[in-house]
Amino acid sequence: MSESDASQSSDEKNAISKYNQEQLDILASTLGIKYQVEDNLTGGMSLYSLSITLTNHCSVTLGYCAGCSTNSQWSIYFSHLRMVEPNFLPIDPCVDLEYSGVRFSHVNGSIFKLSPLKSFLPLKNGESVKIKFNGQHYSASRSDVLPNWYIHIDGTEPRLIKSTEGESLDFVGPFDTPKRYKRFDYTLSSGRRRYDIYQPFTPEVRFHRYQPVLSSSSSSSSHKDTPWQLKPIIPTPHTLVIKDTENCVDILSGGWTILDHGGHFQKEAQYLSAKTSIPLSKAAADTKPGQAKVITLTQEQISLPGAGLIESEVYKLEVDGAKQSIQLSANSLAGAFYAVQTLLSLASPRSSPSKDSSDQTASLCPSHQLIPSCSVHDAPRYSYRGMHVDISRNFQKKCEILQLLDLMASYKMNKFHFHLTDDEGWRLEIPGLEELTEIGSKRGHDPEENTCLLPLLGSGPFMDGLGCGYYSVEDYKEILQYANDRHIEVIPEIDMPGHSHAAVRAMKVRYDKLMAKGKKKEAKQYLLSEPDIPASSLAFSVQMLADNSMNPGLESTYAFIDKVIKELKEMHKDIQPLRVFHLGGDEVPYEAWDESPACLSLVDSDEVDSMEDLMEYFVLRVATQAHKHGLELGAWQDGIVVNKSEPYRRSKFANSKVLVYFWRNVWEKGQAYDAHKLANEGYEVILAPGTHLYFDHPHEPDPEERGLFWACRFMDTRKVFSFMPANIMANADVKLTGEKLTKADLKAIKESEDFTELKKSENIKGLQGQIWTELVRTRQQFHEMICPRLIALAERAWHCALWEGQAADKRGKAQEKDWFEFASTLGHKELRRLEAEDVPYHIPPPGARLTGDGHLEMCSCYPGVPLFYSVDQGISWLKYEGSVGVEAYQEILVRASSHNGKHHSRITKVDVKSYAESDEHCN
């Protein structure tokens, strides 16, 4: 606290002269900020306590400015994922904390403002003030806290507060006690305690989690005891027969050519040539299929009868080592492309697990792999194998999207759900509606949002920060072409009617601009809100945004949507004709329309039965618009199943297909059967469950792991790999608390009103992974949240494992074996492929334990990745090459690394002393 002389009069204490720009710059560069979550557990589910400590490190005093009005004081703007003082905000315009001398105001969305009251005690050099307050719900992770706070005074330029700048988040205090890293502990009305049981993993816990239970005859076993077989191809093919391991082919040894026999697969042949540098045959008439050192692509009618697979994408691959020839056959262009990917996978470098040495000392891999004589006959289980990418919340450059498309193609994924718009940004140029990108693609300090959006999600005050960027028409066309060349369909999403703040605000700026020019008719043409009707003071979205919903009662809303659809069709026209228009439809704050004259007029006219029917009216009108443009429709689950009701009747849609993306499946909340309801009603269902396929969730239940945790506390690659799409409820594992779902729990769910038996399984069309980017700001964060989980997703979308159809009490061992072969393949092969393409990926910290005789044992989640330890507090790192004596040290640091040494896991500590004093190591 400030130690200002108590004898000072109140006027003397608070009399700070008005700040100039130079003083503000000094304060911004030196002001210390410490953010600390204090207690998640005592406020039940509704509140947690936290503090912000301000420390002055300069000669400029920070205090209440006597020469300024209340609204012209210095203000610290910051982004916060949870509502501040939710008992007051956002209903009240501000809340005054007299005991700290500060005021908190909610600007909009995640933006809050901290400013001084007259009672704020001036902070001189070296003095501090600790401001204690409440947040909504809980905060259990460092990445919950957003960077790039800034200070501003009217009449000056805003300045980033240096101590909060960047990605280190060093200003965030530790999550070092249960009340800080656990989320809740409260008693239900029934008297039952609801308690977060998750603990951060220790190195010892990881050691046991990473061990293959199948081979654990004793607790001392480790990966090296079992030489796991690697999967030659991921995703696993339907049939792979190794015919001869003596006669192999080496396609990168030189002298090979590629023959497109019949000229049907020119692009696929060119792609293979580009990837391998093998030339295309220039004299096709002189080159014959089966000729030595020729890779032949041939169109051929082939099938996989009785397998229930997607016949349109079937292919065959024959490698004949004796004749030194390779034959790729397929019905379709896509099938030929997947045959090429299988060949590339077979040729990819790998290391081999050895029974006689640690996995981490496996033999050095060659620059490429010899391919044995083999036969592959393959096709996917699902026609939809997708990845969703949100580039609205935080923008990613075009090159990152192209790199992701390459990765998807390598693993035979074929749908790219492109989330182009949301509250926090509009990311695609729309000719004729320039304001969408002039305003909606930028974030910065403009509280009125006349030149840009607010600096949401830690963007900072300047319009060149992390929250800024968009794709021009030419950029988008390049992405389309790149995807099309890789047999990936791009499905653009324009999220509506909720999640539309960027569009609503941009069209309001357009309206004001044209009205100022006297162009009233043109101004109203694409308006998405009623300009003279203020947003309801109670209508806030889940993300705390007012003014985030398009108005379904305005004809101009539908004129805007029609304009956007037309422009999207034009962009797609000559590259990849647009087939699906995705309208979003999720998380709509319906109360936003309660006071709208336009909406009330619709109800009064009997065009809509009631205010509760406005969402259905909107969705059906947009569906009709899409149909008139010859398009199918896509929507999120809650755009079609509103408020846990039955889905809208499928017969009301004229569209040939309506794709619905199932994402809300928290087991105890009662919507897990929506996928069955939708499929039975005739919708094409894409499984995108939050509990298994939301890649914005953390990899571990650790406060130092990046990610949200609304659907589950963590989601590692193994959980993605273990998802069983053919039986959704078979995946019901734990509650949000971490408690296992008991047989009684599952019985209660099955006996609930929500229970629906799946009668039309043919309408489950596939799987999709999701990356939402509220907490993803950099290139490395983007790729690390996706990889290697995407590879596990591709495996499940393409290949149906035998264990998926087995009863729960029988599938354990088969699933365990399959996982460890998959994990070993990642460690020894697939992660090397990512590194070769310069794709960062998440590296879990290693498992580590001490034996009774003081030796360190380590293992990895992905056997084969290099492991290291340090006995000098991280000054130097030693490669782990088998059990090593460490009894002379008090603590050891451990980490895992990429094969190329560019990236590392989090560093974790093995406390030798406390371990030696415990009985944990005793067997």
pLDDT confidence of residue 918: 54
- Helical (H) or strand (E) element with 240: strand 239-249
- Expressed in angstroms, the distance from the first to the final Cα of the chain is 52
What are the structure tokens assigned to 60, written together? 């400029």
Residues β-bridged to residue 47: 136
Helices 473-485 and 555-572 meet at what angle, rounded to 10? Answer: 50
Q: Return the DSSP state at 93.
A: S
- DSSP-derived 3-state class of residue 230: coil
Pairing of strands 878-879, 884-885: unpaired
3-state SS of 599-637? HHHHHHCCCCCCHHHHHHHHHHHHHHHHHHCCCEEEEEH
Grouped pLDDT means (10 residues each) for the chain, 923 residues: 43 64 97 98 91 97 86 93 96 94 97 96 96 97 98 95 97 97 89 92 96 52 56 97 92 94 95 96 71 94 91 97 96 98 94 50 53 96 98 97 98 98 98 98 97 97 92 98 98 98 98 97 96 73 93 98 98 98 96 93 93 96 98 97 90 98 92 95 98 98 97 97 96 94 90 91 98 97 98 98 92 94 96 96 97 92 96 95 86 96 96 62 38
Neighbours of 117 (CB within 10 A): 16
- For residues 373 and 244, the answer to whether their CB atoms sit within 8 Å is yes
Amino acid at 780: Q
Separation CA 285–CA 281 (nearest Å): 9
Interatomic CA distance for residues 569 and 631, integer angstroms: 9
Q: Global pTM?
A: 0.95
**Do residues 904 and 784 lie in contact, with contact meaning Cβ atoms separated by under 8 Å?**
no
**Parallel/antiparallel/unpaired status of strands 257-261 and 294-299:** parallel
**Mode of pairing for the β-strands spanning 658-662 and 632-636:** parallel
Query: Quick count: other Cβ atoms within 10 Å of Cβ 342?
Result: 24
In the chain, DSSP finds a helix count (H) and a strand count (E) of: 23, 34
Q: Which position among 478, 587, 668, 835 bears the catalytic label?
A: 587
How do strand 658-662 and strand 684-687 relate by DSSP bridges? parallel
- pLDDT, residue 921, reads 42
Q: Is 587 a catalytic residue?
A: yes
Contact of 367 with 348, CB cutoff 8 Å: no
Which helix or strand (DSSP H or E) is residue 479 part of?
helix 473-485
CA distances from 492 to 390, 397, 582, 732 (A): 11, 17, 6, 31
3-state SS, one letter per residue, for 31-77? CEEEEEEEECCCCCCCEEEEEEEEECCCCCCECCECCCCHHHCCEEE
Dihedral in degrees, nearest 10, Cα atoms 543, 546, 547, 552: 80
Sign of CA dihedral 556, 557, 561, 567: positive
Query: What amino acid is encoded at 606 in this protein?
Result: D
Measuring CA to CA, how many Å separate 826 from each of 379, 599, 705, 770, 877?
A: 22, 54, 21, 21, 24
